[in-house]
Structure 1
Amino acid sequence: MSQDGSPDLTGKLTFDGDKGAGRSKWVAILMGLAMVGWMGSGYFAPTEPEEENADDNAPSLVTVAVLPSAAQDVQLVLAAEGQSIPDRSTEIRAKASGQIIEVLVERGDLVTSGQEIGRIDAETIEAQVLQAQTQLAQATRDYNNAVSLQDRGLATEDRVSAARAAEAAAEAAVTAAVEQLDNTVITAPFSGRLNDMTLDEGEFVTNGDTVAEVLDNDPLTVVVQVPQQALSRLHKGDTAQVSFITGEERVGVIGFIGSNADAQTRTFRVEVTVDNPNSEMPAGLSARIEIPTGQARGHFISPAILSLGTSGDLGVKTVAEGDVVAFSQVSIVRAQPDGIWVTGLPDEADIITVGQGFVNAGDVVNPRAPVADQTADASQ
């Protein structure tokens, strides 16, 4: 409205005369001063949320699966791979020349000591024996006559000595002829199995020809090479479990321990004798022997749990007091198809079965019990 009472048609609004407009100005000024004071104080958030944020920035602990393990008595066993050999073997050679007239055995047969396996034609040698015997009879008569004449003073001592020499020569000839006749019979030198034989009826053999081979496989001998550090634990007469590649298992006895190491491998020869009735098992079979050598306290673990230390030592990682990782150097004392036995750990140990590759000795970890499948893996 204009001062003269006529209406103001300019469209402008004024609040100079409004008491409410003045109060709003003072409220706005007070709120601005309060905002400036709050921002100047630096108080923007409570203290507790700041601490939680700091904890979120701290490094998290590695979680590992831990399996408690208690040491047990374990039988120490020395295992070695070897090969079986016959107790004895030899070639049978002809001791006379002539034609084979009879063969009494076949290759692969079992024979006994002195058993006849073949014959050589002895007709000529039999005649030589008869001739030698006749000459011996004549020489004996000549010697007796010489002695009789000497007794009557009709023969000298030289004549008697010559007759005695002739008789001795005839005796030697008979012995040689009889021996040659015996040699026409081919026999086995000891009990065993004929591994090879080349005798055939009608074949001509010469003195010295090889006609057969006999093997004595009872007992059978298993030869292994033993490392020098294990030699002191073995003794002659110790029992050994022998497993042949054919699946046969036998109990043997150490019959020989070498006294001189192999120049190249530095191992010692050890022979284990195994009973082999009727030579059932052949020589030349691959075999594994296990010899008990004492007892120790060890833990049974999976080979996958093993770790290498900073120096390349073989060991196992465990969780000690305060959830701190510890590394223990171990020795494998026995291996089985389902796991290994190791020594070097405390009697009671919390073994890390999963996650050992992500932690080192001295690290603090978050140990957890393994799940079912991890427990099975750790025990295998």
Structure 2
Amino acid sequence: MRMKSQYVFVIAMVAVVGLIFVIRAIFGGEPSKAEAKTTPVGPPSVQVRQTAETIRPIEIVMRGRTESARTVVVRSETAGVVAATPAAEGAYVRRGQVLCRLAVDARQAALDQARANYRSRQLQRQAAAQLAEKGYRSQTQVLESQAALDSAQAQVRAAEIALNQVNITAPFNGVFDRREAEVGTYLGPGQACGTMIELNPLVVYGDVPETEAARLRVGAPASAKLLSGQLLNGRVRYVAHDADPQTRTYRVEVAVDNPRMDVRSGLSAEVRVNVGQGPAHLVPITALVLDAAGRQGVRHVLPDGRVAFTAVNVQEETPQGVWVTGLPGVTRVITVGQSSVAEGQKVRVAVAR
């Protein structure tokens, strides 16, 4: 049976198309326009900004918190019932001011008795000396009367101290932050009247990593900026020599002036410690990247047109950019395309506008 002519035509067309695909597969063909556009031509292009080396103060910056220079729990030295609490809780007090006063009880009577005994011993000593001059007393008897007089004098001093101990006083100028005893409370020796804190000077403490601790020195100038914007100036008073076992950081304490004692303990602050002068570069904050090891730094272009990465330490952020240390001399910092190139890669350089 003969095939219809239209079937023959369709079969012929299919054979021709198949033959074309076979020939293209064997001998290849020209790439399409889309393929031609994705084919890279030459090294990638980046924009750079040339930044010069500038000598400026180098600071170590850390997060910190204010705390009192001293915190002391003021305790009773003797036993007794609290008769008065002259100092208001939270008030500023001077050294020697009474915080709690115990009942005197028999302490005044004991002092009066000791003083009377002392006067009696004085008279006995005078009589013994006069009789010894006339030959009616030996030198040994005179010395015995002198010893009795000295003992009586010591008893007077002990009674005076016992009476004075009813006044529990402030050990330094500061704030009577918390009262532990009220009128009528019985205090034994060593029990607390209240807590005193010293706010001038004020201490601002922070923690620095082991890479920075060796650069800090006691006496170095420092400043602390509070969240309110208030700036406090002072100097480093302490740098720990033993690291925190959990964080592996070292405690740093800065003593700052707080004459009005308006800055409280426990406020957050940004602490800056001046460690001298050194070279620094001002770079755009967008130029900062991380390398494969997680180090912060910038990518820049070497004189031969290849990309290099240098780890940096950020010193200060400003509206114009960030000041960093660690870059060598005049550096062409990549500002556009820094995330799409790798170290050692050849690039084409265009100056950033």
Range class of TM-score, shorter chain: 0.7 to 0.9
Shift, 1:287, TM fit: 2.4
Whether 1:140 aligns to 2:122 is yes
Whether 1:347 aligns to 2:330 is yes
Aligned to 2:41: 60
**Cα gap change, 1:299/1:190 in structure 2, threshold over 3 Å: closer, same or farther?**
closer
Whether 1:218 aligns to 2:200 is yes
**Cα gap change, 1:283/1:67 in structure 2, threshold over 3 Å: closer, same or farther?**
same
Aligned to 1:71: 52
Aligned to 1:97: 79
Contact 2:236 2:255 in 1 (8 A): yes
Whether 1:300 aligns to 2:300 is no
Shift, 1:232, TM fit: 5.1
Matched residues in 1 for 2:141 and 2:302: separation? 109
Shift, 1:174, TM fit: 1.0
Of 84, 88, 93, the match for 1:106:
88
Deviations 1:283-335 (A, max 9, x none): 233322112331314241335552526x877654445678x442242423425
Whether 1:200 aligns to 2:182 is yes
Letter in 1 for 2:264: P
Superposed CA RMSD in Å reads 3.3
Q: Secondary structure at the match of 1:82?
A: strand
Aligned residues with identical type, % of pairs: 24
Shift, 1:367, TM fit: 5.2
Deviations 1:58-113 (A, max 9, x none): 74246544133322525432112233232222221122322222221111010001
Name the count of aligned residue pairs: 315
**Cα gap change, 1:120/1:305 in structure 2, threshold over 3 Å: closer, same or farther?**
closer
Q: Normalising by structure 2, what TM-score?
A: 0.76
**Cα gap change, 1:135/1:321 in structure 2, threshold over 3 Å: closer, same or farther?**
closer
Which has the greater radius of gyration? 1
Letter in 2 for 1:254: V
Aligned to 2:152: 170
Shift, 1:129, TM fit: 0.8
Deviations 1:327-367 (A, max 9, x none): 2424234252765434435515162513x444334545555
Of 317, 332, 335, the match for 1:336:
317
Contact 2:47 2:351 in 1 (8 A): yes
Contact 2:302 2:308 in 1 (8 A): no
Contact 1:332 1:340 in 2 (8 A): no
Whether 1:255 aligns to 2:237 is yes
**Cα gap change, 1:162/1:304 in structure 2, threshold over 3 Å: closer, same or farther?**
same
Q: Secondary structure at the match of 1:306?
A: strand
Letter in 2 for 1:216: E
Deviations 1:263-301 (A, max 9, x none): 736654432111112321222333221123313142413
Q: Secondary structure at the match of 2:106?
A: helix
**Structure 2: stretches of 5+ with no match in the other structure:** 1-29
Matched residues in 2 for 1:314 and 1:83: separation? 26
Q: Secondary structure at the match of 1:177?
A: helix
Matched residues in 2 for 1:120 and 1:111: separation? 19
Deviations 1:5-27 (A, max 9, x none): xxxxxxxxxxxxxxxxxxxxxxx
Letter in 2 for 1:262: A
Aligned to 1:30: none
Matched residues in 2 for 1:163 and 1:321: separation? 101
Contact 1:330 1:345 in 2 (8 A): no
Q: Normalising by structure 1, what TM-score?
A: 0.71
**Cα gap change, 1:126/1:348 in structure 2, threshold over 3 Å: closer, same or farther?**
closer
Matched residues in 2 for 1:189 and 1:114: separation? 6
Deviations 1:3-56 (A, max 9, x none): xxxxxxxxxxxxxxxxxxxxxxxxxxxxxxxxxxxxxxxxxxxxxxx9xx9xx6
Letter in 1 for 2:202: L
Letter in 2 for 1:77: E
Q: Secondary structure at the match of 1:107?
A: coil
Q: Secondary structure at the match of 1:122?
A: coil
Bigger drift between 201-210 and 189-198 goes to 201-210
Letter in 2 for 1:60: V
**Cα gap change, 1:226/1:368 in structure 2, threshold over 3 Å: closer, same or farther?**
closer
**Structure 1: stretches of 5+ with no match in the other structure:** 1-49, 376-380
**Cα gap change, 1:62/1:290 in structure 2, threshold over 3 Å: closer, same or farther?**
same
Letter in 2 for 1:113: R
